[in-house]
Amino acid sequence: MTEENTGGCTCGGEVGDGHCEQEKRLGWHEYFMSVARLISQRATCTRGHIGAVIVRDNNILSTGYNGAPSGLPHCNETNCRIYRSTHPDGTVEENCVNTIHAEINAIAQAAKHGVSIKDADIYITASPCIHCLKVLINVGIRTIYYEKPYKIEHISELLRLSGIRLVQVQVDGPEKHCSC
């Protein structure tokens, strides 16, 4: 299948008639976060759909989404098994026993296929939990790009000590502008 009209007029107008809109090309951050969003649609956790993409030199190395280990029942097939843990500051967190987080699944996929992710970056649809952050530190992730904040107050000290950058990426719908 061939592509037609890539990057050109998408509105059916004639060049120069003032009615032509051209789609803006996605930047790398928008591209990878859009991929993470798409991957999150495979998630089987009934409490949230998270996607992760591990990237180095603008190449996708691995992806992951939250769900049960391969071959085991998913939360959308059975009931979630929730457990509660208490942080040192007294806040209570609830997690599912069945679910592996998107970041860990992306790391596991890289390991399974022999892909080095040292000095890579990760794009996640939500900032990592403290447990995922600890693993991201150990595998050598340099920068974490996230879309939505999730309990950032619990990870700020680890971020400071580790030197990993945490950067929020806002992705809006596709922009168009007239350039005809």
CB 68 within 8 A of CB 127: no
The dihedral through the CA atoms of 75, 76, 78, 83 has a sign that is: positive
Which of the following is catalytic: 14, 103, 147, 175? 103
Is 132 annotated as contributing to ligand binding? yes
Is 94 catalytic? The answer is no
Cα(155)–Cα(131) distance, integer angstroms: 9
Q: Where would I find the H helices in the chain?
A: 28-40, 102-112, 130-139, 156-162
CB 142 within 8 A of CB 119: yes
Question: Residues annotated in the binding site for Zn(2+), as ranges?
Answer: 101, 129, 132
Q: Which residues are catalytic?
A: 103
Question: Residues annotated in the binding site, as ranges?
Answer: 101, 129, 132
